[in-house]
Amino acid sequence: MADAHPHAMAPTRPGKTRTAPPQRPPQFPMGGRYLAYTAFGWTGLIYLLLGFLVIEAVWALGDGAAAWQEQLLRYEHPVYIAFHVLALASVVFVGVRFFRLFPKAQPPRIGPAKPPPQSLIHGTLYAVWVGATVVFGAILAGGLF
């Protein structure tokens, strides 16, 4: 990778002291902690492609029963299955990152009360996540509604 342009972050007017030229960190983008940031960024592409698949499925629904059956057969292809496994891993990765960040973002006090311990917050978040997954899974499988 090329070095960053030396004037990329130059102030509009010179300051009283000189600043160091911008440099990329030595482990960027795949080393150290940057690997998690890079993987988090790539999940956006996965979600974009999932959005296109949803649009394609809705389009097939609008074209009638034959088009919908053809779409369902297409989803049985190993490439689609592999992509959906990758998408599931992406969703779990982002969810776990969020759950690790959430307790740290809570205020130290909420009025006169202290927030619950981080382990309780983590447990509640994971329980709600698993519960929502079970409920939506039952709905999609036809067990509810």
In this prediction, residue 3 has a pLDDT band, given cuts at 50, 70 and 90, of confident
Asked whether the beta carbons of 125 and 99 are under 8 A apart, the reply is: yes
For the cut 70, the answer to whether the pLDDT of residue 1 exceeds it is no
| Whole-model pTM over 0.95 | no
DSSP single-letter state for residue 73: H
Q: Where are the domains of the chain?
A: 26-105, 108-145
Residue with structure tokens 């998408």?
87
At 87-114, the pLDDT tens digits run 999 999 999 998 888 877 877 777 888 8
Q: Is 83 a residue whose pLDDT tops 90?
A: yes
* Chain-centre distance for alpha carbon 53: 17
3-state helix/strand/coil string of the chain: CCCCCCCCCCCCCCCCCCCCCCCCCCCCCCCCCHHHHHHHHHHHHHHHHHHHHHHHHHHHHHCCHHHHHHHHHHCCCHHHHHHHHHHHHHHHHHHHHHHHHHHHHCCCCECCECCCCHHHHHHHHHHHHHHHHHHHHHHHHCCCC
Cα→Cα distances 34→21, 41, 109, 116, Å: 21, 10, 32, 31
Reply yes or no on whether the pLDDT at 2 is more than 80: no
- Amino acid identity of residue 15, one-letter, is G
Average pLDDT rounded to a whole number, residues 14-43 = 84
How many alpha carbons lie under 13 Å from residue 123 in its C-beta half-sphere?
Answer: 5
Span of 4-13, 21-30, 133-142 with lowest mean pLDDT: 4-13
Q: How high is the pLDDT of residue 139?
A: 93
Identify the pLDDT of residue 86: 97
- The residue with greater pLDDT, 32 or 39, is 39
